[in-house]
Amino acid sequence: MSTRAQFSEELDQLKQQIKELAVEAKYSLDSAIHLLYECDVEKARQLIEDDAELDAREERINDNAVLMIAKQQPVASDLRRLVSAIKISSDLERMADHSTNIAKATIHLGEHHNIEIDPELREMAILAMDMVDLAVKAFEYEDITLANKLAEMDDVVDNKYGMVVKQMLELTAINPEQIQHIMQMAYVARYIERFADHITNIGENIFYLVKGKTYDLNS
């Protein structure tokens, strides 16, 4: 196999590793939200422990990318691919961290709280997970039109976040004794909103990968 063919194969492997990490990050949010509604403190603790594996995956992607930069001295789209890989994997790792934050909120709320978890949180999470699917597709096909849709979806998540926070504030006014619990729900909304922001960053990295320029999809 020629050196170039081997390098191309390594780039493909790196892409595959990123896609797998994205699936794991999505799965972590799915699980965290499910456990929140189920008040499953035990499994929430497990989810936090499992995050170490995602951190390790991110580290492996970074190590591989840095090694390829050192060995191949890439330029142009090859270099952009590797720079994007490092940045995207960092966003994915941060997304998984937000899932663990949600699991921590589940632990704070405990098994026997009696407040209703706002259904809007699930709606926000579903949207964020759809964004992950779209981002993976945009990354797979290096499709900037798809990547740009992430910005629109992120706007919807942001709007929902605004509404949820407003509702929470109203709730604290009429249920001051439950303020600790309500605050946890507001935090969860914030974590999902941040999760979605990281996906938008991935969209920006796809733009950079394709166009070689930096774009701001968050504004």
Partner 1 sequence: MNETIEQQKKTANVKIESKSTDKKQKNTEGRHVFEVEDLNLWYGSDQALYEVSMNVPEQQVTAIIGPSGCGKSTFLKTLNRMVEMVPIVKTSGDIKYRNQNIFGNNFQQEYLRTKVGMVFQKPNPFPKSVYDNVAYGPRIHGIKDKKTLDQIVEKSLKGAAIWDELKDRLDENAYGLSGGQQQRVCIARALAVEPDVILMDEPTSALDPISTAKVEELVQELKKKYSIIIVTHNMQQAARISDKTAFFLNGELVEFAETDDLFQNPRDKRTEDYITGRFG
Q: Binding residues for partner 1, per CB under 8 A?
A: 3-4, 7, 73-80, 144-145, 148, 151, 207, 211-217, 219
Scanning the structure block, which residue is given the tokens 């926000």? 124
The residue among 60 and 74 lying less far from partner 1, judged by its C-beta, is: 74
CA distance 160 to 80: 34
Q: Least distance from C-beta 191 to partner 1, angstroms?
A: 26
Q: Would you state the structure tokens that stand for residue 55, as one six-digit string? A: 């951190």
Q: Which tokens belong to 48?
A: 């936090």
Closest CA to 65 of 29, 21, 13, 113: 13
Least distance in angstroms from the C-beta of 77 to partner 1: 6
Ordered alpha helix ranges (H), 110-178: 119-141, 144-174
Please, what is the end-to-end C-alpha distance for the chain in angstroms?
Answer: 45
From CA 1, how far away is CA 9, in angstroms rounded? 10
Whether the CA torsion 175, 176, 179, 180 is positive or negative: it is negative
Specify the DSSP class assigned to residue 193.
Answer: H
H or E, element range at 95: helix 76-109
CA torsion 84→93→50→60, rounded to 10°? 30
**Which tokens sit at 17?**
């590793």
